[in-house]
C-alpha cells in the first residue's frame, strides 16, 4: 500500500486549462479500527472510476523511517522526541507528496493525519498547544472519517493478525501497567477520549466500525459522492 513519488511534480504548463484544487480526505481511528482497509477500498474505487488519487500513510517517509525504527527499537525515546520524529516524517510527506498533489488537482487520501499526533502525543503528556503549533502548517482535511470501535474489538482484531502487541502501540513506554493488554486498554482508551473531543471540534464523519466492511465502505462512498463534485477530479485524455 505504501507509495512514493518517483520524481518531483513538474510545474504545470500555463497554456493548459487550470486543474481544480485537490481534495484531502483523512481517516482516523484506534489501532485495529479497520480504517486502513476502508481507505484502501476507497482508493481502489476512485481509481476504477478514473479519478486522480494518491494514498499516503502515517510514518512512511523514506527519509525518516529508518530513524523512527531505530528510535522505537531502543525504547528510550522521550514523548517529545517521539512526537518530533513523527512530525518530521509528516512534514517531509506533506511537502513532497500531499501539498504538490493537492496543487495538481489530486484526491489525496491520508491514512492518519495531524489528529493522530494531537490524540496520541497529548496522552503522552505533550502540551496540546505545542502540538497545534507544530502542525500549524498543515491544511485541515476537507473530510475526516473517524472509525469508531470498542477497545476490546480493536484488540481482538490486532491479535487475530499477529501474536502480540507492539511496545508503543500498547503504551508500554508510559508505565501504565506491566500487562501489555491492560496497558493497551488504558492507553488506547485515553486516545479514544481525545479523538471524541477532536471529532466535535473538527466535525469528523463518525463511522460505526463494528458494521461489515461492505456496509462501511458503501457509507463512505455515498458520503464522498454526496459532499464532493467528483467530476472535477476525473482523468481526461491528454491530462493526468
When pLDDT is averaged across residues 122-130 and rounded to a whole number, the result is 97
Q: What percent of the chain has pLDDT over 90?
A: 78
Cell of 59: 510514518
In a domain, 60, yes or no: yes
Q: Strands 107-111 and 205-208, how do they pair?
A: unpaired
Tens of pLDDT, residues 160-206: 999 999 999 999 999 999 999 999 999 999 999 999 999 999 999 99
- Helix (H) or strand (E) segment spanning residue 145: strand 143-148
**DSSP code string of 75-94:** T---HHHHHHHHHHHHHHHI
In a domain, 71, yes or no: yes
Q: Which residues contact 156 (CB under 8 A, 6 or more apart)?
A: 32
Q: State residue 17's pLDDT score.
A: 38
In a domain, 115, yes or no: yes
Report the CATH number that the domain containing residue 105 is assigned in CATH.
3.40.50.300
In a domain, 197, yes or no: yes
Q: Residue 238 — very low, low, confident or very high, per pLDDT cuts 50/70/90? A: low
User: Taking the model in full, what pTM does it have?
Assistant: 0.87
In a domain, 236, yes or no: no
Cell of 163: 501474536
Note whether 124 and 4 are within 8 A (CB). no
Tens of pLDDT, residues 3-51: 444 333 344 443 333 445 899 999 999 999 999 999 999 999 999 999 9
In a domain, 13, yes or no: no
In a domain, 207, yes or no: yes
Q: Which domain holds residue 209?
A: 23-231
pLDDT at 60 over 60: yes
**DSSP code string of 164-233:** S--TTTTTGGGTS-SSHHHHHHHHHHHHHHHHHHHHHHHT-EEEETTS-HHHHHHHHHHHHHHHS-GGGG
d(CA 27, CA 36): 8
pLDDT mean across residues, the chain: 89
In a domain, 12, yes or no: no
- Is 167 exposed, middle or buried, given 0-12, 13-18 or 19+ CB atoms closer than 10 A? middle
Q: State residue 93's pLDDT score.
A: 96
The number of distinct structural domains making up the chain is: 1
Amino acid at each position: 500500500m505504501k507509495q512514493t513519488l518517483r520524481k518531483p511534480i513538474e510545474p504545470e504548463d500555463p497554456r493548459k486549462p487550470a486543474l481544480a484544487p485537490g481534495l484531502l480526505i483523512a481517516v482516523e481511528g484506534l489501532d485495529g479500527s479497520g480504517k486502513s482497509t476502508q481507505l484502501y477500498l476507497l482508493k481502489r474505487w476512485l481509481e476504477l472510476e478514473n479519478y486522480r488519487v494518491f494514498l499516503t500513510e502515517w510514518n512512511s517517509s523514506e527519509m525518516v523511517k529508518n530513524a523512527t525504527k531505530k528510535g522505537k527499537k531502543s525504547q528510550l525515546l522521550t514523548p517529545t522526541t517521539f512526537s518530533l520524529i513523527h512530525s518530521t516524517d509528516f512534514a517531509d510527506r506533506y511537502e513532497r507528496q500531499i501539498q504538490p498533489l493537492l496543487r495538481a488537482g489530486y484526491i489525496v487520501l491520508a491514512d492518519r493525519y495531524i489528529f493522530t499526533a494531537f490524540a496520541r502525543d497529548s496522552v503522552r503528556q505533550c502540551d496540546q498547544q505545542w502540538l497545534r503549533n507544530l502542525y500549524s502548517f498543515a491544511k485541515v482535511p476537507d473530510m475526516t472519517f473517524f472509525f469508531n470501535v470498542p477497545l476490546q474489538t480493536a484488540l481482538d482484531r490486532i491479535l487475530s493478525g499477529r501474536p502480540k502487541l507492539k511496545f508503543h502501540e500498547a503504551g508500554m513506554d508510559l508505565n501504565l501497567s506491566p500487562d501489555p493488554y491492560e496497558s493497551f486498554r488504558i492507553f488506547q482508551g485515553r486516545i479514544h477520549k481525545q479523538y471524541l473531543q477532536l471529532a466535535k471540534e473538527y466535525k469528523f464523519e463518525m463511522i460505526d466500525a463494528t458494521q461489515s466492511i461492505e456496509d462501511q465502505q458503501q457509507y463512505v462512498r455515498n458520503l464522498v459522492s454526496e459532499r464532493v463534485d467528483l467530476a472535477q477530479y476525473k482523468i481526461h485524455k491528454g491530462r493526468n
